[in-house]
């Protein structure tokens, strides 16, 4: 399947008037995600690096709509998926909508217009999910856990939701490490 090139993805981010910071973040996520995908492929596993690159670049495109609304921080993943489906990229949409990793109950809690599981299932979705969590100064599993533990208060996550999110991060991180991820 054909996915948007880097130039096409960046055009879409600008078309939907995403802030420069979000575009730069998306480029960094793509760089990290492609490296993880290439590590895993070098270890002998099949991974669609083109899908990973496009999804990493477009994972936050839904922020055009939800960035300033209540629950928007989490609902932008839903909007990313909805928009990319509308544009004719259902596989890309599935990866992008799962980059925050909400289950149906959590999506309902945040007022998702069409609540459903938005959990990363494919290898490509798991790579983008983890790559989106990595930042300068936050590149180990432990650093990411500490960050999400602190941010859960800002996001008003109930304790059980916070624990599920952290558990998902740990489980997926460890799975990718077993497959050959080196960060």
Domain at 6-179, CATH from 1.20.1560.10, 1.10.3210.10, 1.10.3210.50, 3.10.129.10: 1.10.3210.10
Domain boundaries in the chain? 6-179
The pLDDT value given to residue 5: 95
Answer yes or no: is pLDDT of 46 > 70: yes
Q: Are 139 and 93 in contact (CB under 8 A)?
A: no
Tell me: the pLDDT tens digits for 59-83?
999 988 865 555 566 788 999 999 9
Tokens representing residue 15 in the block = 């078309």
Q: Rounded to whole angstroms, how far apart are CA atoms 117 and 143?
A: 26
User: Is 138 in a helix, a strand, or coil?
Assistant: strand
Predicted pLDDT of residue 168:
96
> How far is Cα 175 from Cα 82, in angstroms, rounded to an integer?
28
**pLDDT tens digits, 129-161:** 999 999 988 999 999 999 999 988 887 888 999
Q: 113 versus 172: which is more confidently predicted?
A: 172
pLDDT at 136: 86
Residue 164's pLDDT band (cuts 50, 70, 90): very high
170 C-beta neighbours (distance < 10 Å), count:
14
């Amino acid at each position: 399947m054909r996915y948007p090139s880097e130039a096409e993805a960046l055009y879409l981010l600008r078309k939907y008037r995403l802030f420069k910071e979000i575009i730069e973040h998306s480029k960094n996520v793509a760089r990290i995600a492609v490296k993880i995908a290439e590590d895993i492929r070098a270890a002998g596993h099949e991974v669609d690096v083109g899908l990973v690159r496009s999804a990493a670049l477009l994972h936050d495109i839904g922020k055009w709509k939800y960035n300033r609304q209540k629950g928007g921080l989490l609902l932008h993943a839903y909007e990313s998926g909805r928009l990319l489906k509308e544009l004719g990229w259902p596989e890309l949409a599935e990866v992008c909508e799962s980059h925050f990793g909400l289950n149906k109950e959590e999506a309902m809690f945040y007022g998702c217009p069409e609540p459903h599981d938005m959990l990363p299932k494919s290898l490509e979705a798991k790579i983008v999910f983890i790559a989106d969590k990595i930042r300068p100064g936050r590149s180990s599993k432990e650093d990411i856990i500490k960050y999400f533990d602190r941010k859960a208060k800002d996001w008003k996550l109930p304790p059980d939701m916070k624990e599920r999110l952290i558990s998902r991060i740990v489980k997926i991180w460890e799975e990718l490490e077993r497959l050959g991820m080196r960060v």
